[in-house]
Amino acid sequence: MVGEDLLGEIKICGLRDITALDAALACGADLVGFVQFPKSPRHIDLAHARPLAQHAAGKALRVALAVDPDDAAVEAILAAIDPEILQLHGRETPQRVADIRRRFGVPVMKAIGIAAEADLALIADYREPCDRILVDAKPPTTPEALPGGNGLTFDWRLVEKLDDKAGLMLSGGLNPANVGEAIALTGVGAVDVSSGVERAPGDKDPQRIAQFIEAARAAFRQRNMPPAKEKAKSA
């Protein structure tokens, strides 16, 4: 379960080449993500995703991200990437999520866009059919906006107020400079980054990947550090 590891879980998403993948693995990323969405600059076709996924096998959990996939697309993605987790980042209903998990036997993580407190109600709707839930910034209502990876943050205090944070992964505008604050404020046990470790859309920066993982690990470590013992008062 996400969050059981005292050092938390870190996902680097939108990987498209071996250099970026190796940087993520070398720095200890827990999950690596491969995007299956042609409109995204982070999309990778299955022929190129297959060897990357094979390279990551046993080193990190492999996540395949899809947007409203039909059954044929799910089948092709699972055959090529063999992911430990299928991330659904579209408008999939709880019923559709449950159907995919049952039909294909793959753990599912559902992305939920958050912009206001009312959006948090969706989390309860997806708790049962999902293995994990990713809370992301709700995309803008513009034609060019992507379902995710827009580099936008949302009010993290909304997540802070949740009573049950088990299985939640935080995403949306995270980067090496703000991930520590996000972890400390929200209390989540897992974080996800894509655009926040890029030089340009779809072009991952190994140095920023290393910085992000280092900052996130430090924040998880600090949050879970036992309180210092009160110094004994002098007589």
Rounded average pLDDT over 199-207 = 96
Distance, CA of 187 to CA of 165 (rounded, Å): 8
pLDDT tens profile 11-64? 999 999 999 999 999 999 999 999 999 999 999 999 999 999 999 999 999 999
Please report, for the domain that includes residue 158, its CATH number.
3.20.20.70
Q: Is 130 inside any structural domain?
A: yes
Question: Which pLDDT belongs to residue 144?
Answer: 55
Contact of 9 with 31, CB cutoff 8 Å: yes
Question: Which pLDDT belongs to residue 233?
Answer: 45
Q: How many residues does the chain have?
A: 235
Q: Which helix (H) or strand (E) is 74 found in, with range?
A: helix 71-81
Distance, CA of 132 to CA of 87 (rounded, Å): 9
Rounded average pLDDT over 187-202 = 96
Q: Is 44 inside any structural domain?
A: yes
Q: Which amino acid is at 23?
A: A
pLDDT tens profile 76-96? 999 999 999 999 999 999 999
SS3 85: strand
Q: Is 26 inside any structural domain?
A: yes
Contact of 129 with 167, CB cutoff 8 Å: no
What tokens appear for 35 in the block?
A: 């995007």
What total number of domains does the chain contain?
1
For residue 173, the tally of other CB atoms under 10 A from its CB is 18
Q: Is 80 inside any structural domain?
A: yes
Range of the domain at 57: 9-223
Question: Which pLDDT belongs to residue 155?
Answer: 86
Per-residue DSSP letters for 193-223?
ESGGGEEETTEE-HHHHHHHHHHHHHHHHHH
Q: Is 234 inside any structural domain?
A: no
What tokens appear for 61 in the block?
A: 């959990």
pLDDT tens profile 121-164? 999 999 999 999 999 988 645 555 555 555 667 888 889 888 88
Q: Is 20 inside any structural domain?
A: yes
Q: Which amino acid is at 5?
A: D
Which residues are part of the catalytic machinery?
13, 136
Q: Is 84 inside any structural domain?
A: yes
Q: Is 4 inside any structural domain?
A: no
Per-residue pLDDT at 178 exceeds 60: yes
What is the b/e burial string over 89-111, where b = at least 16 CB atoms within 10 angstroms of the residue's CB?
A: beebebebbbebbeeeebebbbb
Q: What is the DSSP letter of 165?
A: -
Question: Which pLDDT belongs to residue 7?
Answer: 78
Residues 6+ apart with CB under 8 A from 72: none
State the Cα angle at 131 between 68 and 219, rounded to 5°.
Answer: 105
